[in-house]
Structure 1
Amino acid sequence: MTTTTSISGSCLCGTIKYSLKGTDKGPVLCHCDNCQKTTGSSFANNHRFTRAEITLTEGKDAIKSYKDTNTISGNPLIRWFCSNCGSPIYLENGKFKGLVIVYSGGIDGDLRHKTPAGELFGHNKRNWFSGVEGAAKL
């Protein structure tokens, strides 16, 4: 289910701020090792937008990227993060041009409370986590 939204988000230290204006393609969890390491958690909870729907409103000079080429899918990912506090902001997948994957932890407001509609790389999820009931296993 898609939701048209106009919300904001930021990194932990507040140096980087952004706005999202557009259609959320729905939240998904990613259980790959790289997302676990990026977030420092058992999975990444993400929302999908187009590149044109995210605008950096503060901290453009503080955002840095890391080209992650050692991915389980084989697709290189560009991971954008705050160079001050290290918070992940969003990522771009070279296979899906124009799509931006925004980490839900930085999003302000109700959008971050939506139940994920799908789970990626479920074969790699932690054995104590049964998954999200009703979520598509992608």
Structure 2
Amino acid sequence: MAKMTVDTKILPIKADSIDVVPTGDLGDVVRETLIEVLDSDPRDNESYVDYIKRQAKAKADEMNVIKVALGLNTKEMEKINKTLEESTIDNYAAYLMSVLQGLTTGSYKEFMESQQDDEAETDPKSEEDED
């Protein structure tokens, strides 16, 4: 099977990168998690509690993708959760899932730079600033 090298420098673990085999099972978990994350906006007539429950499940599933894909143990995952800001964990999970889906290659840093470039291109404020 083909391996994908995933940048892990941002994570508080020993390795700077990990080779991951994109198995069918892993792909299934990634797609299910992506659906949850992309469908995370509040729904019409949804209670706040139900919305928070969906958010909590999406976060747990993101953490599971990181754990399973990178072969990390519970102690390493606890360290990630206690050390990194939640937005960094979310961004890293997005990077990891993008790599596993074949949507991006390269480092986490390059991924984040491309996301910032994409946001600047679509942000109406950035267009106003150019005038």
Instruction: Give the TM-score, by structure 2 length.
Output: 0.27
Q: Flag the structure with higher strand content.
A: 1
Task: Name which one, 1 or 2, has greater alpha-carbon Rg.
Answer: 2
- TM value normalised by structure 1: 0.27
Structure number with the higher helix fraction is 2
